[in-house]
Amino acid sequence: MAREILQTHDVSFSNRLTPDSLTPFRYHEHALPWVPVSPLWRNLRRICNVHLFASSTLDSSQHIRRRKIQELLSHVGKCSETGSLVNIGEAGFTTTLNLLGNTIISMDLADPTSESAKEFKELVWQIMVEVGKPNLADYFPVLKRVDPQGARRRMTGYFRRLFDVFQGIIKSRLQGREVTGSVRKNDVLDTLLELSMEEFQIKHLFFVSIYFCLC
């Protein structure tokens, strides 16, 4: 889905009407699906084509996909042995989020043993639910100023927490790169840092990749 929207049909999806809930922190001004065709749009498109969704990049992460699918099958198998119910939606969401996490930043984003990963998973889920709700402000623009359903207010809080998590991850990676003899992880984050992208641009690209892969 992400590749189709951000690469194959990017022109069709550019400069779309932005849901009011996605306007906090001017997110829509830096996210490829909503940015109008412009130098910024072309630069983001080039990054997606050359570095994020290139065949070589996808092929190099094939082992990650296999491992995460095997973990999913193992989880289902254990539930079968114990007679436990399997929440297919929850299991699929966790698998997809961890697959994205390992591709982007080489770590699970829904690790049940990690409090920070657990918080991140719940945060992404809340964002998905909020964006999926009908919002009166999208149908009656005059209501955007008052935010009658509180969607933009809630999303502002979600975005702030999400970007704080991303900032911590980026800071940790930059500190690790300064250590003598440190080994590059060769994931999406390393690629974006090599391109000397601004931190806020990396945060927005992270969110766009996660959002459209989970849609």
State the Cα–Cα distance between residues 18 and 185, nearest whole angstrom. Answer: 35
pLDDT (tens digit per residue) in 133-148: 999 999 999 999 999 9
Q: Specify the pLDDT at position 133.
A: 93
* Mean local confidence (pLDDT), 135-163: 94
Long-range contacts from 25-29, C-beta under 8 angstroms, 24+ separation = 25/156, 25/159, 25/160, 25/163, 27/159, 27/204, 27/207
Percent of the chain scored above 90 by pLDDT? 19
Q: What is the Cα–Cα distance from 46 to 215, expressed in whole angstroms?
A: 23
In this prediction, residue 186 has a pLDDT band, given cuts at 50, 70 and 90, of confident
Mean pLDDT value of segment 172-186: 81
Distance separating alpha carbons of residues 157 and 159, to the nearest angstrom: 6
Encode burial over 84-107: b for 16+ CB neighbours within 10 A, e otherwise: eeeeeeeeebbbbbbbbbbbbbee
| Angstrom distance (rounded) from CA 64 to CA 106 | 10
Give the model confidence (pLDDT) of 87-133 as tens digits: 888 888 888 888 888 888 888 888 766 777 778 888 888 988 998 89
What is the percent of the chain where pLDDT is above 70? 88
Q: Which pLDDT score, from 0 to 100, does residue 34 have?
A: 77
Mean pLDDT of 150-163: 93
Global pTM?
0.77
Average pLDDT of the chain to the nearest whole number: 82
Residue with structure tokens 């697959």? 99
* String of DSSP letters for 100-127: HHHHHTSS-SS-TT-HHHHHHHHHHHHH
- pLDDT mean over 9-21: 71
User: If 0-12 CB within 10 Å is exposed, 13-18 middle and 19+ buried, where does residue 161 land?
Assistant: middle
- Tell me: the pLDDT tens digits for 35-72? 777 888 788 888 777 777 777 777 777 888 899 999 99
**Which residues 6+ apart lie within 8 Å of 4 measured at CB?**
none
Task: Determine contact, residues 206/120, Cβ cutoff 8 Å.
Answer: no
The CA-CA-CA angle for residues 64, 177, 203, to 5°, reads 65
Comparing CA positions, the residue from 174, 181, 134, 177 lying closest to residue 21 is 134
